[in-house]
Amino acid sequence: MLRPEQLADLVATATEILDEASGPFVAGHRADSAVRKQGNDFATEVDLAIERQVVAALTERTGIGVHGEEFGGAPVDSELVWVLDPIDGTFNYAAGSPMAAILLGLLHEGTPVAGLTWLPFVGNRYTAVVGGPLRDNGTELPALSTTGLAESIIGIQTFNIDSHGRFPGRYRVEVLANLSRVSSRVRMHGATGVDLAYVAAGILGGAISFGHHVWDHAAGVALVRAAGGIVTDLAGRPWTVESKSALAAAPGIHQDILELVAAAGAPEDY
């Protein structure tokens, strides 16, 4: 395990690198689709350019390999590896929404030990290392406190009700319906990493992700845990890089959301 001062040095270097990438990120807002991916997903030229830029800088300046969304790279089970999403919320980004971010997590043998989430359009630069605290633009934020679900904003991913797969659309609707009976403050930001960062910062009380991509989650898991929050999968097992879903929440809320998810039944029954 890296010493705290080593982690701090790595985050300081990564901070400089993400700051350098923020210029192209902002300049490319509303970028057109460049690369079609599975289904109706796509990458923009800016995704590709930022990933190349950040990967090259991290490799040169930290000596640690990088696993990126667009080009892959070092295995996520390496002793140390950076995990990068150059643009989280690509649809938002291309449409001109400010709900888009650069996500960078550091994994040690598969466990998130540091996280950085940059929201250049709204000015947030969240950083944390294992053990906390969470910082925004270098300012330490208070640890998450116990609160209630009814008083909290909850983030949930967007979806198509007719979709199938591991978590069918109709299952997701039932989870949403259960949440709505307790909290009328459900939000769909369309960016998993933004949701997780907002949980860590106490803006959201919790967030549900039906996704499994490590680059969407690594940075945010580190942030939430450093802030004193809880991150599991939807079955309540601690989140790992192999998890197929994520539930991140503040103390006092996580268990309540977990029970509402369980009340929806088994996804395979939908």
Please report, in range form, the residues annotated as the binding site: 69, 85, 87-88, 216
Nearest 10 degrees: Cα torsion 132, 135, 141, 147: -70
Q: Which residues contact 84 (CB under 8 A, 6 or more apart)?
A: 51, 54, 55, 58, 66, 67, 68, 69, 102, 103, 104, 215
Residue ranges at the known binding site for Mg(2+)? 69, 85, 87-88, 216
Q: What is the DSSP string of 211-265?
A: ---HHHHHHHHHHHHHTT-EEE-TTSPBP-TT-S-EEEE-TTTHHHHHHHHHHT-
* b/e map 117-150, b = 16+ CB within 10 Å: bbbbbeebbbbbbbebebbbeeeebeebeeeebe
Round to whole Å and give the CA distance between 236 and 94.
34
For residue 98, give the nearest of 126, 123, 121, 118 by alpha carbon.
121
8-state DSSP, 269: G
Cβ–Cβ under 8 Å, residues 183 and 154 = yes
